Chain A
Amino acid sequence: MPMRQGPVIFSEIEPYAGIKKAIEMGSGAVLDEVKDSNLKGRGGAGFPTGLKWSFAVIAEAERKFVVCNADEGEPGTFKDKVLLEEYPGLIFEGMAIAGFAVGADCGFLYLRGEYRSMVPMLEKKLSEMRTGGALGKKIMGADGFDFDIEIRLGSGAYVCGEETALIESLEGNRGEPRNRPPFPVNTGFLGYPTAVNNVETMTAVPHIIAKGPGWFKTFGTEGSSGSKLLSVSGDCEKPGVYEVPFGITVKEILKMTGAAGARAVQVGGASGCCVPKKEFGRKISFEDLSTGGSVMIFGRERNMLDAAENFLRFFDEESCGQCTPCREGVPVLLEGVRTLKRGECTKGYLDDLLSLAESMQCASKCGLGQSAPNALVSIINGFKGDYKLSKKIKEERAFHG
């Protein structure tokens, strides 16, 4: 085991302790424990994992699937990379426990194409686990529990991190998100019930089963049990992956990573929101600042409009183009932030941009379009000193088709 330390994910655990105990307990009890632990999805959305699994359990079908979402693509996120590199056995064990709980015999690890150099190492780990009886037929000697894992690669599409787009991609289609409902737990891969969970969620599962939901809940806040992995980057002395209990403040993170001069912190990547200095007392949790793990630190000399432009350029590249609010809205916001940077944006134009942002947030089909305007909106509102509005009334104009 590597030498990382942390409360939950990086705490010590015997290999296969989780899966062994899960089989002793039976699938119903595993489901109850995960529900009781209040584990929520670590990809950022925060849906209760136990509840998600229970939907897959009650769905009637000949087959069920488990998918581990390793399509970590949110700018500034690299915590799953560390887990994949250093704790692959724990991820696969978590997937097997998920398979046991929901009654699936097959799991996919959907690995982003950027991480493909890890495949030989991951395959080696899988075959080790098959030899060790933790994957394959009759896992840990349990009659009637077969489960195996196949690694599937992404091909450089950010939107495939969205669970229904990921399933489309697994099925050999363009990675365009589906309408939800129906949710993947009812109609997932090839139409079968499919539980899709983030790498970090899967990694937490063996710990919860082996050490109990009570132990897990001793960390974090009331609404956000356990810990969160943060990938910290930008203007700080010690960038890297940190495991922290939920409820940690932005200020504490800055102290821990040596970022005394920070003026802003972007929490949640390009789709997250930008926190100005006066709000550094806010907490990382599902109730306050929710993040899939990305924490970008901006020093004194940074203009936040540069960040907003960079994020919108990213969304402009990655929007799948399927729904209108996102496809048409992102380029307008991108042009808007550039107008703002040039000092040519009037009050009326800015109001139009904010109104468009709101339309995108409620009318886009998937999380990409819904969250694409977040950073810009929070920067416009929180960093008024970073831009000047143009006074030229005659150039004021609304959007036109």
Chain B
Amino acid sequence: MKPECAVEKIIEEGGKKIVVCDTTRARLLPVLQDVQDRKGYISDKDMQQIADMLGIHPVEVYSVVTFYSFLTAEKKGKHLIRVSNCMPNVMKGSEKVIKAFEKALKIKVGQTTEDGQFTLEETGCIGMCDRAPAIMVDNELVGNVKPGAVKKLIDGLSKAKKKKAKK
């Protein structure tokens, strides 16, 4: 059972639950988050379609996409690694963690690896200051990250991907 709120309706179509909006603007963020999750970015065409669906101008969608740091108009890596750079993390050595990621992935902060697998970013506080240095790997929060463990973490993510592909 889902809440009967003003702005959301869920219908079943072909055995799949789909969020259908009663085309109110208030659905914009959840729709964009959904696209971002599935594709890793929100293309111009997506923005156009979403704008049509909600009856607003595409540039309004664009202005929202560019406002939020977790929504992007450019394609990012399959895995997104965000290293917290808030003060308690800096105090516990987040800069070394960033350097370790840069070395292991052979990219700089803000870049994506050539094979499109990883994007490395810095972010503000992620609520893990008691377990600093902390990072966000895709949707998961990971604390007490040691620079020496970075390589293993990346290998783990790459392997998980290959395993899935084999299945």
Residues of A at under 8 Å CB distance from B? 63, 72-78, 80-81, 106, 108, 112-117, 127, 130, 136, 148-150, 152-158, 169-176, 189-190, 231-235, 239-241, 266, 269-270, 296, 298, 302, 306-307, 310-311, 313-314, 317-318, 320
State in angstroms the CA–CA spacing of A231 and B87 once bound together. 14
A175 touches B67 (CB 8 A): yes
- Other-chain contact of A77, B29, B32, B127 (Cβ < 8 Å): B127
B25-63 at interface with A (beta carbon < 8 Å): 25-30, 32-33, 54, 63
B69 touches A148 (CB 8 A): no
A241 touches B130 (CB 8 A): yes
B128 touches A174 (CB 8 A): no
Given A114-B136, A310-B87, A311-B87: A155 and B124 interface contact (C-beta under 8 Å): no
Question: Most A CB atoms within 10 A — which of B69, B125, B128, B141?
Answer: B125
State in angstroms the CA–CA spacing of A156 and B64 once bound together. 12
Closest CB of chain A to B8's CB: distance in Å?
7
State in angstroms the CA–CA spacing of A136 and B3 once bound together. 7
- Other-chain contact of B3, A80, A106, A115, A269 (Cβ < 8 Å): A106
B128 cross-chain contacts in A, Cβ below 8 A: 78
A157 touches B29 (CB 8 A): no
A149 cross-chain contacts in B, Cβ below 8 A: 3
When C-beta atoms are compared, the residue in chain A nearest to B68 turns out to be A155
Known: A75-B88, A114-B141, A158-B124. 13 other contacts (CB 8 A): A75-B124, A76-B86, A148-B5, A150-B8, A154-B68, A156-B70, A156-B123, A174-B63, A233-B132, A239-B129, A240-B130, A270-B86, A311-B87
B64 touches A173 (CB 8 A): yes
Given A77-B125, A155-B68: A233 and B1 interface contact (C-beta under 8 Å): no
Given A117-B140, A239-B129: A169 and B87 interface contact (C-beta under 8 Å): no
A172 cross-chain contacts in B, Cβ below 8 A: 24-29, 54, 64
B30 touches A234 (CB 8 A): no
Residues of B at under 8 Å CB distance from A? 1-6, 8, 24-30, 32-33, 54, 63-64, 67-71, 85-88, 90-91, 123-132, 136, 139-141
A113 cross-chain contacts in B, Cβ below 8 A: 33, 70
Closest CB of chain B to A249's CB: distance in Å?
21
A155 touches B26 (CB 8 A): no
Query: 3 shortest A-B CB distances, which residue pairs?
Result: A172-B28, A148-B3, A233-B129
A231 touches B129 (CB 8 A): yes
Question: Most B CB atoms within 10 A — which of A78, A239, A296, A298?
Answer: A78
Interface CB pairs A-B, < 8 A, 17: A75-B129, A76-B88, A77-B125, A81-B127, A114-B127, A148-B5, A149-B3, A152-B30, A154-B70, A155-B71, A156-B69, A156-B70, A156-B123, A172-B28, A174-B64, A239-B131, A317-B124
B26 cross-chain contacts in A, Cβ below 8 A: 170-172, 189-190
State in angstroms the CA–CA spacing of A302 and B92 once bound together. 12
State in angstroms the CA–CA spacing of A174 and B56 once bound together. 14
State in angstroms the CA–CA spacing of A113 and B140 once bound together. 11
Closest CB of chain B to A104's CB: distance in Å?
11
B132 cross-chain contacts in A, Cβ below 8 A: 233
Closest CB of chain A to B45's CB: distance in Å?
19
Closest CB of chain A to B69's CB: distance in Å?
4
B6 touches A156 (CB 8 A): no
State in angstroms the CA–CA spacing of A156 and B36 once bound together. 13
When C-beta atoms are compared, the residue in chain B nearest to A175 turns out to be B67
- Other-chain contact of B130, A155, A174, A176, A231 (Cβ < 8 Å): A231
A130 cross-chain contacts in B, Cβ below 8 A: 1
State in angstroms the CA–CA spacing of A328 and B137 once bound together. 33
B71 touches A235 (CB 8 A): no
B3 cross-chain contacts in A, Cβ below 8 A: 106, 148-150
B54 cross-chain contacts in A, Cβ below 8 A: 172
A296 touches B8 (CB 8 A): no
A175 cross-chain contacts in B, Cβ below 8 A: 67-68
A190 cross-chain contacts in B, Cβ below 8 A: 6, 26
Closest CB of chain A to B17's CB: distance in Å?
13
B6 touches A63 (CB 8 A): yes
B125 touches A75 (CB 8 A): yes
B5 cross-chain contacts in A, Cβ below 8 A: 106, 108, 148, 150
State in angstroms the CA–CA spacing of A106 and B3 once bound together. 8
When C-beta atoms are compared, the residue in chain B nearest to A314 turns out to be B124
State in angstroms the CA–CA spacing of A390 and B2 once bound together. 63
State in angstroms the CA–CA spacing of A156 and B26 once bound together. 18
When C-beta atoms are compared, the residue in chain B nearest to A241 turns out to be B130
A80 cross-chain contacts in B, Cβ below 8 A: 127
State in angstroms the CA–CA spacing of A116 and B24 once bound together. 24
Closest CB of chain B to A313's CB: distance in Å?
8
